[in-house]
Chain A
């Protein structure tokens, strides 16, 4: 009698193997279920990519992607992260150079939607920071905040392909520096200035205010610190701050 492990491996091979289509009605039913589950996860996570390429192209891409990237989790929300890298090397998508970055943006939205909550920024605590230690302050990005950049106009493409829009992007040229954030549990996608993006990327990698500001051109620094930083706090892009150990 075959062991449980062998029985299961052989059945899963038979289900995932395309040749199951030639096999029993039962195997075909399971194969359809698995396809429906995996493709359903990608349909939910990548609506803009799907609209851009059309249903038939998307279905074929999803099937090819699945053959190389089986699900690894019992939670289908975790399925589909490698889709952007897959699209990069997927021959039929080669002429759509922007497609992988659009997929990356959609995966960031998917993650943002499910990310942890955070209490609102505690402005009172900020008053306790002395002027001398201000440069050491480390702003913390909200768990739902994601930063991406692309040489393509991905934000314009993403916006134009929301359900109620006509699909015509307002801009044809990148680059786009993007922040994905969450407001009242809804995911927002925004194009921000390159300098703003560099500041947030600095915070994201744990840099203090002084170090992160050094990435800005001298002319930008004051304006960005004066206006953008306050906006990122009030928009919830930044949800808190920390002082380095031993600091005030």
Chain B
């Protein structure tokens, strides 16, 4: 865990509609998380904004486009831009997703699930290692939500996630909402998932809202955190200990106060956890 972010602290995803207000008022947030790619530009307003925020908050760079699990060669140009951004802003946390987004040089710009096989595990572990080598730091890798499964998967998702972290030495960004969404979509026990995760590997927790579409829960980041996910979060904290927790909201972005209220609820959970569990270093 980064010395700059206490385990019982909270953050929100920084999105353009909140830039001005968040600079003008004080907030109890300890960190802000941005999508790394939104700051891949050579210069201009986005980087100028980020410079202003870094003066008041620790930063978390959260990548959505590296396509870690792709069978294509690792995109060195993309990685080079991420590396430059990490060097410039010295973020407290750097994370990516345990997924793929592109193949055959076509990019879906979405987080697509991997088949949970030995081949995919070997491949993604090697790629995480290369990214960590290039950035000269440990990264966190996030479990993704998914709307389909591969019939030829041979490993349970939770074992795949845990094993990817164990073998590569990366940390985990545990997205509790994604665990819940997948447990409903694919019919497994979310608490069984939590039980397989190595507490020491977890460097950050994500919370967000989902929306239902027919049989599927969709991870839209467009609603408040559901009661089920708060309950799963409490279970995660009880098992893992307090971890920096981030509230994400990406579609139909509400007023800043709504996000700050979600972060406040997370802090109350964290405070209860911190009092019963010593933080894990």
Q: A4-B71, A71-B106, A73-B78 are in contact. Are A26 and B44 (CB under 8 A)?
A: no
Which residues in A have their C-beta under 8 angstroms from that of B273? Answer: none
A interface, over-half SS: helix
Which residues in B have their C-beta under 8 angstroms from that of A11? Answer: 112
Would you call A114 an interface residue if the criterion is a C-beta within 8 Å of the partner chain's C-beta atoms? yes
| Chain B residues with a Cβ under 8 A of chain A | 37-38, 40-48, 64-67, 69-71, 75, 78, 81, 100-110, 112, 114-115, 117, 119-120, 123, 146-148, 150, 152, 185, 213-216, 218
Which residues in A have their C-beta under 8 angstroms from that of B109? Answer: 34, 37-38, 41, 71, 74, 76, 79
Beyond A29-B213, A70-B107, A118-B43, 8 additional contacts (C-beta under 8 Å) are A4-B120, A7-B150, A27-B148, A29-B216, A30-B110, A71-B106, A75-B37, A117-B44
Please report the total number of A residues contacting B with Cβ < 8 Å: 44
Would you call A12 an interface residue if the criterion is a C-beta within 8 Å of the partner chain's C-beta atoms? yes
User: Is there contact, CB below 8 Å, between B44 and A4?
Assistant: no
Would you call A234 an interface residue if the criterion is a C-beta within 8 Å of the partner chain's C-beta atoms? no
Name the residue of chain B whose CB is nearest to the CB of A113: B44
Which residues in B have their C-beta under 8 angstroms from that of A182? Answer: 44
Q: A1-B117, A12-B104, A75-B81 are in contact. Are A30 and B147 (CB under 8 A)?
A: yes
Which of A30, A37, A70, A114 contacts B46 (CB under 8 A)? A114
Would you call A89 an interface residue if the criterion is a C-beta within 8 Å of the partner chain's C-beta atoms? no
Which of B42, B103, B216 contacts A26 (CB under 8 A)? B216
Q: A8-B100, A114-B44, A185-B45 are in contact. Are A72 and B216 (CB under 8 A)?
A: no
User: Is there contact, CB below 8 Å, between A77 and B41?
Assistant: yes
Q: A76-B37, A114-B42 are in contact. Are A71 and B107 (CB under 8 A)?
A: yes
Which residues in B have their C-beta under 8 angstroms from that of A2? Answer: 152
Would you call A24 an interface residue if the criterion is a C-beta within 8 Å of the partner chain's C-beta atoms? yes
Task: Please report the C-alpha to C-alpha distance between residue A182 and residue B185 in the assembled complex, in whole angstroms.
Answer: 48
Interface residues in A25-84 by Cβ distance below 8 A to B read 25-27, 29-30, 33-34, 37-38, 41, 70-77, 79
Which residues in A have their C-beta under 8 angstroms from that of B75? Answer: 74
Task: Please report the C-alpha to C-alpha distance between residue A76 and residue B101 in the assembled complex, in whole angstroms.
Answer: 12
Which of A30, A70, A79, A115 contacts B112 (CB under 8 A)? A30
Would you call A123 an interface residue if the criterion is a C-beta within 8 Å of the partner chain's C-beta atoms? no
User: Is there contact, CB below 8 Å, between A75 and B147?
Assistant: no
Q: Distance in Å from the Cβ of A184 to the closest Cβ of chain B? A: 9
29 CB-based A-B contacts, threshold 8 Å: A1-B119, A3-B119, A4-B71, A7-B150, A9-B104, A12-B103, A15-B108, A16-B106, A25-B147, A25-B215, A26-B147, A27-B147, A29-B147, A37-B110, A38-B109, A41-B109, A70-B106, A74-B64, A74-B65, A74-B67, A74-B102, A74-B107, A77-B37, A77-B40, A113-B44, A115-B43, A117-B44, A117-B47, A143-B42
Which residues in A have their C-beta under 8 angstroms from that of B48? Answer: 185
Scan A131-149; emit 1 where CB is below 8 A from any B CB, else 0: 0000000000001100000
Task: Please report the C-alpha to C-alpha distance between residue A185 and residue B45 in the assembled complex, in whole angstroms.
Answer: 5
Would you call A116 an interface residue if the criterion is a C-beta within 8 Å of the partner chain's C-beta atoms? yes
User: Is there contact, CB below 8 Å, between B78 and A25?
Assistant: no
Q: Distance in Å from the Cβ of B253 to the closest Cβ of chain A? A: 13
User: Is there contact, CB below 8 Å, between A116 and B42?
Assistant: yes
Task: Please report the C-alpha to C-alpha distance between residue A2 and residue B109 in the assembled complex, in whole angstroms.
Answer: 23
Task: Please report the C-alpha to C-alpha distance between residue A113 and residue B66 in the assembled complex, in whole angstroms.
Answer: 23
User: Is there contact, CB below 8 Å, between A74 and B103?
Assistant: no
Would you call A5 an interface residue if the criterion is a C-beta within 8 Å of the partner chain's C-beta atoms? yes
User: Is there contact, CB below 8 Å, between B103 and A9?
Assistant: yes
